[in-house]
Structure 1
Amino acid sequence: NGINFYDTARAYTDSEEKLNYAFEGFNEKYPRESVIIATKTQGENRKDIEKDIKISLDNLGTDYIDLYQIHNPSFCPTEGDGSGAYDALFDLYDEGIIRHIGFTSHKEELAKEAIESGLYETIQFPFSYLTGPKELAIVEMARANNVGFIAMKAMSGGLIGSSKAAYAYINSFDNVVPIWGVQRMSELDEFLSYMKDEPALDDELEEIIKKEREELQGDFCRGCGYCMPCPEGIEIFQCARMSLWIRRFPSAPSLTPESQEKMKKIEECTECRQCVSRCPYELDIPELLKKNYEDYKKILSGEIKVD
């Protein structure tokens, strides 16, 4: 039992270098062929993709990438479409530099287009037990088209409270591989324990899922960060989730002077709506920020009590 699939990206700061460091540059202890490495390019043309792959290979300390994914593009690259993006990916595949070609997106229509194109072997898309019929339809479309489905945001950006329920739910789909976004050793230990003794999606876990779906129904920020940066320096992906975060986890870390200062930045929002244009979930972010800030001020004043 263990984990052999590692997902990273050029856009994730120094994530690729850290992966290289963790595997000690690959050696007899950690043979390169013992792991599957997936990374990504935000390039949407040949020049940028060819530049990105060279940097990724160097960062990762390898001479090939198992799965190379085009990272949340503004369109679905296809053969001969004039952008040169897919043609560059295929040439890298033909040369053996990448072994599989994938597509990542937060947008339903682009994900469907990529699946139906027949050009991509995997689709990476947000999926958890908080998602609904649209996401389930994409999972089934991927299955029908023999496209692997990689579930990002499997813990919904940290809002899901039960990793056991999350694991059991995702594990009930035989064509879905999750990315858990582990940040602590304790979290890693939890998921490794589930792999050794897989939890069944029983009545108890179903009840947890039902309760959390009721609490988190409607529009809420998934914390993907695509709205950033904010011209006024507002940490949108933190501030727009505060009302949920402060109720689902111990409130003390969210009430520190530093957190209060970050929330106060919401007052500087000019409603330029740049964030709205970037949000893949089409949220009214300025309005969401206002609601969270008003709620936060009531919590600070003691008008609303939280644990």
Structure 2
Amino acid sequence: MEYRELPHGGEKISVLGLGMGYISGTTEEIAEVIRTAIKNGINYFDLAAAERAPYVGYAEAFAGQRDKIYTQMHFGATYENGKYGWTRDLATIKRVFEWELDLFQTDYTDMGFIHCTDDMDDLQTIKRNGIWDYMKELKAEGKIRHLGFSSHNPEVARRLLDTGMMDMCMFSINPAYDYEKGDEYGIGEVQERARFYRDCESMGVGISVMKPFGGGQLLDAKLSPFKQALTKNQCIQYALDRPAVMTVLPGIRNMQDLEEILSYAKATAEERDYSVIGNFTPQKAYGTCVYCNHCQPCPAGLNVGLINKYYDLAKAGDIMAVGHYQKLNRHADDCIKCGHCEARCPFHVKQETRMEEIAVYFKQCDK
């Protein structure tokens, strides 16, 4: 296993980590998967799940091995009803954190992350209602070793970097989200994302990567915006080659998924080589939203790229994406069908029809 050193702190973090969003099975099965991961050198674990049940399996696996692992806990994810929820209520956040510490029999988390901050209004809420002050207090007490955040939005993420207090962040990185084909297609958020990675590196802020496979879309030619499948090893290597990246956190379901991820450590250079993406032409992506936000600003205030991203992730089985969509200030049914986005889209996506489809989908999720 390869390890990378966190600039602020010096922790040696495995380049392969694990997300727990998709894991399932009995407590014993989950515990065995995590023990196997640790035996194979994985030491970094994100602790945001689709439901509460897997936590017990993780706790059993972590028992007696606290000095071998790094935990990434999210302040704003809640499981008080058994399923994943999202909150900005300070009392709830405090209650969840104390529950996690008690369950894992520890008195600290290595990484304390503001959970899923994707818009400016939400960032202001975090500052106003005491969440940020609470986390800084925990940092001073040693209950959080490193402050950080998770986000899908490079503009918001950059604002958090500007606090000068961040040591780590969680960001979605893969070839589809970073899509670019020459200067002609250096559009929208593409350069902003690249600049964010470089800023993290220059500021000594590490990145843990979520969604390395684009919610599974990049592994399926029918779903990929490139109309061609990539392998897991190609996607992992792509993420690891971005500036500031410490570790890649694929979501796994079971032991088979873990074994597939671990195969990266033994993969040849040819098996990891992702240079094939240089052959993907923009025309191959026509009709598919790649979340570039070249359509911004939307006259109705919609974050078109983020709405599309949450929709695609939700359809691919990411339960947490539903909650992330619901907390947006503007939703698909707020579309006024003015034609602005379709006129500006370089990939000719029919967003007005797409917004109708997305609105129906998420309304069904509310039932």
TM-score (normalizing by structure 2): 0.56
2:133 is the counterpart of 1:64: no
Q: What's the CA shift for 1:135?
A: 1.9
Relative to 1, partners in 2 of residues 1:26 and 1:182: Cα closer, same or farther, differing over 3 Å? closer
Worse-matched range after superposition: 186-195 or 89-98? 186-195
**Aligned mate of 2:250, from 170, 177, 180:** 180
Partner SS, residue 144 of structure 2: coil
Aligned ranges 1:1-80 → 2 under 5 Å: 1=1, 2-9=41-48, 12-14=50-52, 18-24=54-60, 26-28=62-64, 31-42=65-76, 44=88, 46-73=90-117, 74-76=121-123
Relative to 1, partners in 2 of residues 1:12 and 1:98: Cα closer, same or farther, differing over 3 Å? farther
Letter in 2 for 1:148: G
Structure 1, unaligned runs of 5 or more: 229-234, 243-272, 293-307
Letter in 2 for 1:95: E
Report the counterpart of residue 152 of structure 2 in structure 1: 106
**Aligned mate of 2:265, from 182, 195, 200:** 195
Q: Matched residues, percent identical?
A: 22
Q: How big is each residue's C-alpha offset from its partner over 1:270-290, in whole Å with a ceiling of 9 and x where there is no partner?
A: xxx73467xxxx999762266
Given that 2:204 and 2:244 are in contact with CA atoms closer than 8 Å, whether structure 1 keeps it comes out as no
Partner SS, residue 40 of structure 1: strand
Relative to 1, partners in 2 of residues 1:171 and 1:25: Cα closer, same or farther, differing over 3 Å? closer
Equivalent residues, number: 243
In 2, Cα distance between equivalents of 1:76 and 1:221: 21
Relative to 1, partners in 2 of residues 1:275 and 1:120: Cα closer, same or farther, differing over 3 Å? farther
Letter in 1 for 2:191: P
2:192 is the counterpart of 1:158: no
Aligned ranges 1:89-238 → 2 under 5 Å: 89-130=135-176, 131=178, 132-161=190-219, 162-173=231-242, 175-176=244-245, 177-197=247-267, 199=269, 205-208=274-277, 210-211=279-280, 215-216=284-285, 218-220=288-290, 236-237=311-312
Q: What's the CA shift for 1:49?
A: 3.1
Q: How big is each residue's C-alpha offset from its partner over 1:65-101, in whole Å with a ceiling of 9 and x where there is no partner?
A: 111101123543699x543221100111122222111
Partner SS, residue 212 of structure 2: coil
Q: How big is each residue's C-alpha offset from its partner over 1:78-125, in whole Å with a ceiling of 9 and x where there is no partner?
A: 99x543221100111122222111111122211010112212211212
User: Could you say what the CA RMSD is over the residues aligned between the two structures, in angstroms?
Assistant: 3.8
In 1, Cα distance between equivalents of 2:307 and 2:99: 26
In 1, Cα distance between equivalents of 2:271 and 2:333: 36
Larger RCO, structures 1/2 (Cα 8 Å, 6+ apart): 2
Partner SS, residue 76 of structure 1: helix
Relative to 1, partners in 2 of residues 1:236 and 1:208: Cα closer, same or farther, differing over 3 Å? closer
Larger radius of gyration: 1
Given that 1:168 and 1:198 are in contact with CA atoms closer than 8 Å, whether structure 2 keeps it comes out as no
Which 4+ stretches in 1 moved above 6 angstroms?
238-242, 282-286
Given that 1:123 and 1:147 are in contact with CA atoms closer than 8 Å, whether structure 2 keeps it comes out as yes
Relative to 1, partners in 2 of residues 1:142 and 1:290: Cα closer, same or farther, differing over 3 Å? same
